[in-house]
Amino acid sequence: MNPIAVFQHSPNVDPGYFASFLDAQNIPWQHIRVDQGDTIPDSPVPFSGLCFMGGVMSVNDPLPWIPEALRLIQQAVEAGIPVIGHCLGGQLLSKALGGIVARNPAPEIGWGRVSVAKNPVSTHWFGELEDFSAFHWHGDGFSVPAGATQLLTNPHSANQAFAQGPHLGMQCHVEMTEELIRTWNQEWSTQTLQCVSYPESVQPTSLQLAQMPVNLPAMRSIAHRLYVRWLENVRTD
């Protein structure tokens, strides 16, 4: 099968568990390091699917690669090539499909509950799950594009995930590993300190780490289910 293109946009925001999942399934993938100067491909056709990770930038920033990424996503959707987006990646998918990305009412950092919407599409992706603790690190949020279906929500971000056919966009970070959580808290500790005025949506590092032994394995099983569902529409021949 053709490889899955995995786009990394910032040095410390690597594919995490998504890469481990693909390796365990013997699925080939190509790591495209936008943060190191790799260019956005001209076409999605050489790939079985596209995965966009998070990043420290906004999709509304005047970066030269962002319009190219939006173009590639639009081409993939037209060609029926599945796209999956994590945080910034979900925002890219939303914007490419006609959605709006804007500053969120409050930043979200750390563990926070998300509720699964009650609709058949959500059941397809999440089964009978009603809510779970997801990991967050974002200041922007996306709207659900026309023709897509909301999957997840919480009080701090009205739209935490959506799906349109085989395409899945998430605001939360289900791909997290222990190493990523520790690294982000080391590299971006000033962000948590600057957000102390949002105690309901921003967790201090100590609380993030204290909840990690329970929340991370539970979220890992949910991420596994989502990735399996997403792969169902990826051509493996």
Q: Is residue 48 a part of any domain in this protein?
A: yes
pLDDT value of position 196: 60
- pLDDT band for position 177 (cuts 50, 70, 90): very high
Q: Is residue 175 a part of any domain in this protein?
A: yes
Task: Give the least confident one: 67-71, 98-102, 105-109, 147-151.
Answer: 105-109
Task: Answer yes or no: is pLDDT of 193 > 80.
Answer: no
Q: Is residue 236 a part of any domain in this protein?
A: no
- pLDDT band for position 236 (cuts 50, 70, 90): confident
Identify the CATH number of the domain in which residue 26 sits.
3.40.50.880
Task: Determine the Cα–Cα distance for residues 15 and 31; give it in Å rounded to an integer.
Answer: 9
Task: Answer yes or no: is pLDDT of 189 > 80.
Answer: no
The pLDDT mean for the chain works out to 95
Query: What's this model's pTM, rounded to 2 decimal places?
Result: 0.96
Q: Is residue 102 a part of any domain in this protein?
A: yes
96 compared with 191, residue with greater pLDDT: 96
Q: Is residue 55 a part of any domain in this protein?
A: yes
Task: Determine the Cα–Cα distance for residues 163 and 167; give it in Å rounded to an integer.
Answer: 6
pLDDT value of position 58: 96
Number of domains the chain contains: 1
90: Cβ contacts below 8 Å, ≥ 6 apart: 52, 142, 161, 162, 169, 170, 171
Q: Is residue 212 a part of any domain in this protein?
A: yes
Q: Is residue 237 a part of any domain in this protein?
A: no
| Residue 108 structural domain | 4-231
Task: Answer yes or no: is pLDDT of 198 > 80.
Answer: no
Q: Is residue 11 a part of any domain in this protein?
A: yes
